[in-house]
Structure 1
Amino acid sequence: MSGRVLSFEPPASRNGSFLALELLPGRVQGALIDPAGRFRARREARFDPSAPRVKILAEVDRVATGLARSSRLGGCVISAGGVLDTAHGTMVQVVDMPSLEGCAIAEHLHTVVGAPTLLEHRARLQVQGDHYFGAGQGEETFASVATGSTLGVGILYQGMILAPDGGRSGAHMTVAAGQITCSCGKRGCWRTIATTAWLREQGRPLEIPDQDLAGWEKRATSDPRAAAVVSEYARNIAVGLANIQQLCMPGLFILHGEAAQASDGFRATILETLRDLSRTGGETEPRLVTTSLGEDDSTLLGGVALLLHRGLPSIG
């Protein structure tokens, strides 16, 4: 498995902006970002993830063109989950947006915005964003963790992305064989027990209406049932991280999303469980940090890092 060396020096002479887009089930967001990582403009649109391809692409185009018309672009990058053919810019398997499977989205966007366009997995871009603009600056090895409605881990190992091009981000690793059926068709994926959707499922039999972790944590201060669910949720997140620690020993885990915004006690449960399950010790003893960058901002900034690293034509 080959990595991708991450190194660039943003040229001081470079002007203009890059267009970074992130495609999630039901939402597309984009930003114009300069080579120094400064956000110049943002746009967002929502859609039905089960909609036909033409309707989803119409929303992607609306965000892209709304941003592109205000700047001469040096390049465009779009991130997504699932299985991607990054070499050809094609979405191969997207279980949450099935109409996009087989879509040559990079070529489509190249035509729409008139700039060189790359497709990359969002977990890979998130770790790049952390490395160049966030809490991973100066680190050669760490894992960047997305939590909440989405789940995934990008790994930087000795300065290289440790994942196959377009590969998965760990959400579908099997951690509970024979248990809950995942949207991918398998049973027991990490994703089935460690996302906000799992919390909502736990709330139904308990008649607890809270939709996110913040609500659950607030309720947990006075409801032992909610406290037990919150604790189990933290341990569920740790199970997947422990597998990654055992295999790759990143040591440092940068948290994004719900886990980053949760209480110190929630993260302490993750860390305690992670250390108990992995027990690697030494310099790679697991530690957790949060970041000042938002989860989506890290992904968008990672797109800028990728474009600069690829050496696309300079912006005039």
Structure 2
Amino acid sequence: MSGRVLSFEPPASREGSFLALELLPGRVHGALIDPSGRFRARRELTFDPSGSREEIMAGLDRVATGLARSSRLGGCVLSAGGVLDTARGRMVQVVDMPALEGCAVADHLSALVDAPALLEHRARLQVHGDHYFGAGQGEETFASVATGGTLGVGILYQGMILAPDGGRSGAHMTVASRQLECSCGKYGCWRTIATTAWLRQQGRELGMIENDLASWERRAVEDPRAAAVVGEYAENLALGLANIQQLCMPGLFILHGEAARASAGFRERILATLRDLSRTGGETEPRLATTTIVGDDATLLGGVALLLQRGVPSRR
């Protein structure tokens, strides 16, 4: 499996700002960021993920142009999920936003903001962000874990990203064969049991109104049924992480999203299950950390790190 060595130029050697954008199902947000990681401006917009390509791209355009209007850009990077052709800057398979499949989004953004543009998988950019700006500084091997409405893991192994270009981030690994159907059409994907959508489904089945982990944890204090759901959710997250630990032994898992904001007890349940399932021991014994990046902006900052690492790319 190929990787990318992470090496960066000193921030002082660059001038201007970078445009970092993140495209999620139903939401696009972005920021204008200088090479030191300082945020100069932000914008965000929501949209219907089942809408047409024109509608989705119009939202992306409004965020991008609003941020780029008054700045000299050193580059632009867009993070997204799904299967991507990063060399050509194209969206290949986007289960939650099918209208974007085949879209040459990097060329579009480059022309729109008059700057070189890159497309990269959000899981890998999150690793870059952690390594350059966050809890992964000084680490050669670790895994960066996105939790909540999205799910994915990016892995840095001995200074290299372990992922093929445009590859998946683990959300669709099969962990519960022939059980819940995933939006990708398969059954038993990790995503079906380890995202906020699973918590909402449990709420519907139990007649509860809680729709995120924080509200489930509050109810769990007095309701044993809620406590059982929260415990199972922690174990579901650990199930996928244990597979990654067995294969790559990253040891350190940096949590982002709702698991990072949850109670210490929730994370202890993840860690206990992870250690029980993986049992690697030694220096690679699993351990958890939470993101140290304010606002959990690792993906946006990872875009800046990627541009610093690569240098300003050539215009297509």
Q: Please, what TM-score do these two structures have when normalized by structure 2?
A: 0.98
1:196 maps to 196
Query: Which amino acid counterpart does residue 22 of structure 1 have in structure 2?
Result: E
Question: C-alpha deviations, 1:115-153, integer Å up to 9, x for none?
Answer: 000000000000000000000000000000000000000
Query: Which amino acid counterpart does residue 216 of structure 1 have in structure 2?
Result: W
Q: CA deviation at 1:188?
A: 0.1
8 Å CA contact 1:86–1:165 kept in 2: the answer is yes
In the alignment, the residues of structure 2 paired with residue 133 and residue 208 of structure 1 have an alpha-carbon distance, to the nearest angstrom, of 39
- Find the residue that maps to 1:186 and give its secondary structure: coil
Query: Which amino acid counterpart does residue 76 of structure 1 have in structure 2?
Result: C
Q: CA deviation at 1:293?
A: 1.4
8 Å CA contact 2:11–2:36 kept in 1: the answer is no
What does 1:102-141 align with in structure 2 at a 5 Å threshold?
Answer: 102-141=102-141
Query: Which amino acid counterpart does residue 60 of structure 1 have in structure 2?
Result: L
1:64 maps to 64
Question: C-alpha deviations, 1:156-190, integer Å up to 9, x for none?
Answer: 00000000011000000000000000000000000
1:54 maps to 54
In the alignment, the residues of structure 1 paired with residue 305 and residue 148 of structure 2 have an alpha-carbon distance, to the nearest angstrom, of 24
8 Å CA contact 2:117–2:313 kept in 1: the answer is no
8 Å CA contact 1:21–1:29 kept in 2: the answer is yes
Question: C-alpha deviations, 1:174-220, integer Å up to 9, x for none?
Answer: 00000000000000000000000000001112111001000000000
1:278 maps to 278
In the alignment, the residues of structure 2 paired with residue 47 and residue 296 of structure 1 have an alpha-carbon distance, to the nearest angstrom, of 22
1:35 maps to 35
- Find the residue that maps to 2:228 and give its secondary structure: helix
1:252 maps to 252
Q: CA deviation at 1:230?
A: 0.3
Structure 1 residues not aligned, in runs of 5+: none
8 Å CA contact 1:256–1:295 kept in 2: the answer is no
Identity of aligned residues (%): 82
1:172 maps to 172
1:144 maps to 144
Q: CA deviation at 1:231?
A: 0.1
In the alignment, the residues of structure 1 paired with residue 204 and residue 11 of structure 2 have an alpha-carbon distance, to the nearest angstrom, of 54
8 Å CA contact 2:105–2:119 kept in 1: the answer is yes
Q: CA deviation at 1:90?
A: 0.2
Q: CA deviation at 1:296?
A: 5.0
1:89 maps to 89
In the alignment, the residues of structure 2 paired with residue 248 and residue 205 of structure 1 have an alpha-carbon distance, to the nearest angstrom, of 36
Query: Which amino acid counterpart does residue 131 of structure 1 have in structure 2?
Result: H
Q: CA deviation at 1:16?
A: 1.0
Question: C-alpha deviations, 1:80-101, integer Å up to 9, x for none?
Answer: 0000000000000000000000
- Find the residue that maps to 1:71 and give its secondary structure: coil
What does 1:225-264 align with in structure 2 at a 5 Å threshold?
Answer: 225-264=225-264
Q: CA deviation at 1:10?
A: 2.6
In the alignment, the residues of structure 2 paired with residue 222 and residue 172 of structure 1 have an alpha-carbon distance, to the nearest angstrom, of 34
Query: Which amino acid counterpart does residue 108 of structure 1 have in structure 2?
Result: H
Change (3 A) 1:142 1:83: same
Query: Which amino acid counterpart does residue 182 of structure 1 have in structure 2?
Result: C
Change (3 A) 1:77 1:296: farther
- Find the residue that maps to 1:215 and give its secondary structure: helix
In the alignment, the residues of structure 1 paired with residue 186 and residue 265 of structure 2 have an alpha-carbon distance, to the nearest angstrom, of 32
Q: CA deviation at 1:310?
A: 1.1
Moved over 6 A (4+): none
In the alignment, the residues of structure 1 paired with residue 313 and residue 23 of structure 2 have an alpha-carbon distance, to the nearest angstrom, of 25
Q: Please, what TM-score do these two structures have when normalized by structure 1?
A: 0.98
Q: CA deviation at 1:9?
A: 2.1
- Find the residue that maps to 2:12 and give its secondary structure: coil
Q: CA deviation at 1:14?
A: 1.9
